[in-house]
Amino acid sequence: METSLIDLSTFHDLTKADIGAFSPKPTSIEGDQVEAVRSLFQSPDGTVDIGIWECTPGRFTADRTGSSEICHIISGRVEVSRADGEARELGPGDLLVLPQGWKGEWRIRETTRKLYMIQSAG
């Protein structure tokens, strides 16, 4: 199977890349949060998705029962907390790994944009 390179212009300046329309965040528990997402790459078997996500201030729950996620914060400020209450403050340039099985909350303090890679359990 021959594989070609991904068009690198797709990944140019992720701070300004168009990610499409915003819609209400379904897992929001505080604030009138809206989010937008643009997938940049999906593996042929559908187990890997890489893209850009942006969300407005507020708080939402997150559940990585069926997948793991790597997040690179591009802009904004967030606090991510585990179910046991341990929390981390993150900002531009920070990298976060959420292993499969992780559950917790995100508190978006400033509109935040991240590059993500989600790998499903398959």
Render pLDDT for 62-117 as a digit per residue (tens, 0 to 9).
Answer: 999 999 999 999 999 999 999 899 999 999 999 999 999 999 999 999 999 999 99
Render pLDDT for 13-33 as a digit per residue (tens, 0 to 9).
Answer: 889 999 999 999 999 999 999
Whether residue 35 contacts residue 23, with contact meaning beta carbons closer than 8 Å, is answered with yes
Specify the pLDDT at position 1: 52
* CB-based burial label for 80 (10 Å; 0-12, 13-18, 19+): buried
Whether residue 57 contacts residue 108, with contact meaning beta carbons closer than 8 Å, is answered with yes
Domains of the chain: 34-118 (2.60.120.10)
- CA 61 – CA 81 distance, rounded (Å): 10
